[in-house]
Homo-oligomer: A and B are copies of this chain.
Amino acid sequence: MIFRSATRADVPAILALLDDDEISRSRQQVVSEGDDAACWAAFEAIDADPRNELIVADDAGAVVGTCQLTFIPSLSRRGAERMTIEAVRVRTDLRGHGVGRAMMLWALDRARERGCGLAQLTTDKRRTDAHRFYAGLGFTASHEGMKLAL
C-alpha cells in the first residue's frame, strides 16, 4: 500500500468513500455527485493549492482510503504551520486492518517534514470508535469542535 496525492482519476473513488458513511449520508442528499461541476472545481482548487493535499491510500491500484491535509500558516506557536486533517475515510470492508492507522502515521510524518507544530482534526461525537483510534495515535480530545451550517 502506498500513500500519494490524488489525481483526477481518483475522484470518483474518493467520492464513493466519502459517501459510504452513515453520518455523512445524513448530512447531505447526494445527487449524482460524481457529475457535479462543483466537485470537479473543488478538486482542481485542492490540486493547485500548495497548502492542501488530497491523499489516497492506494492498494495495488485500488483506492482504499482517503484524507485531506490542510497546512495553515499561523502567528500562534512561533509562526509554525498547523496541519488540519479532514474527510478521513477507509473502505468499509478494510476497517480495523490498520489502513487508517498507516495513513494517519504517514500524514503525521508529512506534517513533521513541513515543520508543523500541531496536527488537529475534529470527529463527530457519535464516532466513539474514531475517538479511540485517534487517541491511540496520540491525539488528545482537549477541545470542543463547534460547527455552524451556513
Chain A residues near B (Cβ < 8 Å): 11, 14-15, 18, 24, 27-28, 30, 33, 36-43, 45-46, 49, 51-52, 54, 68, 70, 72-84, 86-87, 108, 111-112, 116-125, 131, 134-135, 137-150
Please classify the interface of chain A as helix (H, G, I), strand (E, B), loop, or mixed, using the class held by over half of its residues.
mixed
Within the complex, what minimum Cβ distance (angstroms) separates A41 from chain B? 6
B116 touches A77 (CB 8 A): no
Q: Which of B45, B138, B145, B148 contacts A145 (CB 8 A)?
A: B145
A77 touches B125 (CB 8 A): no
Provided the pairs A46-B73, A70-B70, A134-B146 are in contact, do residues A38 and B117 lie with their beta carbons within 8 angstroms? Answer: no
B36 touches A79 (CB 8 A): yes
Q: Bound state CA distance, A139 and B122, in angstroms?
A: 14
Query: Can you offer 16 A-B residue contacts whose CB atoms are under 8 A?
Result: A28-B76, A42-B75, A42-B81, A46-B74, A49-B51, A54-B75, A70-B84, A75-B87, A82-B86, A120-B145, A124-B142, A125-B142, A137-B148, A140-B148, A142-B147, A143-B146
Q: Bound state CA distance, A45 and B80, in angstroms?
A: 11
A81 / chain B contacts, CB cutoff of 8 Å: 42
Q: Bound state CA distance, A81 and B38, in angstroms?
A: 10
Q: Bound state CA distance, A81 and B149, in angstroms?
A: 12
